[in-house]
Amino acid sequence: MGSRDPLSRRPPARSPDSGPESASRGLRDPAIFVPLLLVLLTALLTLFNPIVIDEQVETLLVDVRFRLRNLVLPPPPPSNTVIVAIDEQSLSAHGRWPWARALQASLMEQVLDCDPRVLAVDIFYPESESPEQDRALARVLGDHRERVVAALGFDVEKNTRFSGEIPDPLYDMAIARIEQVSALHPVDAQRVLLPPEPIASSGQFGHVYSLPDRDGKLRWDALYLRLGDEYFPSLALQTARIALGLPQDGVRVVGGAGVRLGDTLIPTDGFGRLHINYRGREGVFPYVSAAEVLAGSVPCSAFRDRVVFIGTTAIATYDLKTTPFSANTPGVEKNATVTANLMEGDPILQAPLLTNLAVVLVFGLLLVRLGRVSSARNTLLIYLLATVLFALANVLLFSFFRVRLQLAYPLFMAAAQSMFVISYRYLSEERRAREIRRIFSSYVTERVVNELIRHPELTRLGGERREVTVLFSDIRDFTVFSEANEPEEVVALLNEFLGAMTEVIFRWEGTLDKFVGDEIMAFWGAPIMQEDHAETAVRCALHMVKRLGELQDDWKARGKKPLDIGIGLNTGEVIVGNIGAEGKKMEYTVIGDAVNLGARTEALTRRYDTRILITEFTYEKVRKHVHSSRIGHCFVQGLEIVRVKGKERPVKMFQIASLEHGTQSVIREDPPAPGTPPRADP
């Protein structure tokens, strides 16, 4: 056998099972029913969608998605649309705005001579300038009526409808085919600002009414307005129809669905508004200065077979709009964007209410489930990860499929859930940590207490069956010592002894159960699982004897009578947990037949004149370590099989002791021959 010091190796670090503890106690658990209430509240908000949230919170998140989309997947600008801009250069060359209508007519003719697919004039003509000027403009509009459309002004006032006679020139421009009228909730115009004759009868027109959201940004465009009982298309819708080669009746309004352009259905909201899919900041469309067109310096290839818009962009003309990308977007570019959305069939698609509601419920219930499975710190990470993944999926859906799924309500729900659950979990964990510290700080080391706080599932305060190794230690002839000495001296010496033994037990990560007078009870294997609990307990017992020797030398040097002890160990299944009177006195302890046998084993140390006795059950656990010298240089002697009080089955006992360093280990598992006196500890 080898000869190693059995105390030289510190107990190995433990890795207790620390599976996640569910925080659930059913629906009565606040960590469950409060998040569920938040899911229900968010579902109700989604269902009713208050305008203050939709237009002041959700819209800001739409803007963020637009910008992120342009980083991830910037859309290409339409190549078939050109804007002829009446810009600062044009005003410098031809005077301040508004220009004479003859000059505007000349600009239109210059473009029309290049054979564009359609010319959209984003300019109002609500009043007469002069008969000559009006006729010049009317002539151009009339000569090219099939491919020119001009802007028309409508006044809209909330809860006010037009009740007069619709002017005759407007009837030809009304949308003739209206389906599912009961599902329509159009924007009602109060009056129309019709151009003077002969302009009104010469051309085609489309309204340019648009109502910004509460933050002043234009995100929607009404594809039609209702005037009286007739529906009139927007400038963008008229332009797209002509560009696609569709007749007047090629446009149909479908209540509750959208606008059908030929065979293509363009989805709208309940008010007939299209969600504008902006390409970016102003300038994404090709711009040509009106001054250059009038000067004849722009080749016809710039306009041929293209959609051409004429509009003002100079700051002095005050036709600038605020969009998700910019506060200086010319109104003509907004109309060009809507036309491009109609022609290419790529407006932003708003997810249906039921889809938004389903997403809120599924995401909310997923968060409730995730919030039950971890600690406060990990719960925060889980919520953050889930929220980031949800937001990322929302952005990708918007970027690649143009689908606007509500984001504000799910983010609100995630934030509210995480704040409550984490706060509740943190307070619960703090309370539980204080309780664990209160219960176990007297039993185990600080490191074990901290481990239990990190893994409270290991405490199982309700009690459980577990295999442990128990240790009982008792001072021999303590009654005689107490009678022979003053009480103060007895208590001082006892405290010194118990303090030293407690340090040894804690060094070997034992659980100190109790002191009963001069008796010490400790155990290994609970509350933290210890696979080598028997080996560690044996090492602790050997260390206790060694520490006792140091105390005895000190006591002798101080002229005091040294104390001696007996130690008994047993391994077996016990019930471990908090035992006592609820609310009065509770102790974390072990009970069972194996505990009783450990106490009886300690009592037998006097019979065999040895300091440490272990039962066959403990020896079986450490036998291989003894033979492999894992425990070190020691003396082991098998003793007789004895019938312990309270046990029907006889139990074999083993004496164990440390040997001097360098001494060959002695292991005798068989009991000594009959009549041989037991050998005292070396």
Which pLDDT tens digit goes with each residue over 192-209? 999 999 999 999 999 999
Residues 419 and 543 occupy one common structural domain:
no
pLDDT at residue 462 in the model? 60
Q: How far apart are CA 579 and CA 575, in angstroms?
A: 10
- Count how many domains the chain has: 3
Pairwise pLDDT comparison (471 vs 628), residue with the higher score: 471
Query: Is residue 621 scored above 70 in pLDDT?
Result: yes
Contact between residue 259 and residue 251 where contact means Cβ atoms under 8 Å apart: yes
Question: What's the pLDDT score for residue 581?
Answer: 66
Placement of tokens 């329509």 in the chain? 184
pLDDT, one tens digit per residue, over 330-344 is 999 999 999 999 999
How confident is the model at residue 71, as a pLDDT? 93
Q: Maximum distance among all alpha carbons in the chain? A: 145
Please report, for the domain that includes residue 579, its CATH number: 3.30.70.1230
Same domain, 430 and 467: no
In a shared domain, residues 515 and 468: yes
Q: Same domain for 533 and 663?
A: yes
Q: What is the pLDDT of residue 20?
A: 38
| Residue 510 buriedness (CB in 10 A; 0-12 / 13-18 / 19+) | buried
| Of 401, 435, 469, the domain-final residue | 435
Domain that holds residue 303: 80-174+186-246+281-347
| Residue 99 Cα distances to 103, 129, 313, 363, angstroms | 7, 10, 14, 57
Do 419 and 521 fall into the same domain?
no
Which pLDDT score, from 0 to 100, does residue 27 have?
64
Among 314, 347, 380, which residue terminates a domain? Answer: 347
Of the candidates 301, 316, 323, 285, the one whose C-alpha atom is nearest the C-alpha of residue 120 is: 285
pLDDT in tens, 410-435: 999 999 999 998 888 777 766 776 76
DSSP three-state, residue 543? helix
Alpha-carbon distances, residue 669 vs 310, 325, 457, 518, 673 (angstroms): 108, 88, 40, 31, 12
Q: Are residues 474 and 553 in the same domain?
A: yes
Range of weakest confidence among 76-80, 144-148, 619-623:
76-80
* Lowest mean per-residue pLDDT among 395-399, 552-556, 574-578: 574-578
Residue 283: the pLDDT is 92
Q: φ and ψ at 665, to 5 degrees?
A: -65, 145
Reported as a pLDDT band with limits 50, 70 and 90, residue 484 is confident
Mean pLDDT of 45-74: 93
Same domain, 170 and 113: yes
* pLDDT at residue number 561: 86
Q: How many CB atoms lie within 10 A of CB 55?
A: 17
Shared domain check, 35 and 163: no
Both 513 and 612 in one domain: the answer is yes
Catalogue the E-assigned strands of 303-398.
307-312, 320-321, 329-330, 349-350
Does 477 share its domain with 423? Answer: no
179-183, 301-305, 318-322, 482-486: least confident range: 482-486
Helices (H), 145-206: 168-171, 199-202
Query: Tokens for 412?
Result: 């609100």
Q: Is the pLDDT of residue 12 over 50?
A: no
User: Would 454 be classed as within a structural domain?
Assistant: no
Look at residue 268 in the predicted model and tell me its pLDDT.
96
| Residues in a beta bridge with 275 | 220, 348
Task: Judge if 127 and 48 occupy the same domain.
Answer: no
DSSP 367-389: HHHHTTSS-HHHHHHHHHHHHHH
- Judge residue 428's burial from the number of C-beta atoms within 10 Å of its C-beta, 0-12 exposed, 13-18 middle, 19 or more buried: middle
Residue 160 has pLDDT above 60, yes or no: yes
CB 525 within 8 A of CB 467: yes
Task: Give the length of the chain.
Answer: 682
| 328, 459, 461, 536, 539 from 529: Cα distances, Å | 69, 10, 14, 12, 17
Would you state the pLDDT for residue 217? 95
Boundary (domain end) residue, out of 310, 326, 347? 347
Q: Is position 21 within any domain?
A: no
Q: Which pLDDT does position 23 carry in this prediction?
A: 40
| Residue 202 lies inside a defined structural domain of this protein | yes
Place of tokens 């002539």: 139
396 and 525 part of one domain: no
Kindly tell me the burial class for residue 656, based on how many C-beta atoms sit within 10 Å of its own C-beta (0-12, 13-18, 19 or more). buried
- Residue 15: what pLDDT? 37
In this structure, the dihedral spanned by the alpha carbons of residues 8, 11, 12 and 13, taken in order and rounded to 10 degrees, is -140
By percentage, how much of the chain surpasses pLDDT 70? Answer: 87
> What are the b/e assignments for 633-651, b being 16+ CB within 10 Å?
bbbbbbbeebebeeeeeeb
Pair 37, 368: CB distance under 8 Å: no
Half-sphere exposure of 679 (CA within 13 A, CB side): 17
Q: Report pLDDT digits (tens) over 624-661.
A: 888 776 776 788 999 988 887 666 788 999 999 988 77
Answer whether residue 301 is part of any domain. yes
Would residue 14 count as lying in a domain? Answer: no
Answer yes or no: is 558 within a domain. Answer: yes
Is the residue at 431 inside a domain?
Answer: yes
Mean pLDDT of the region 550-564? 91
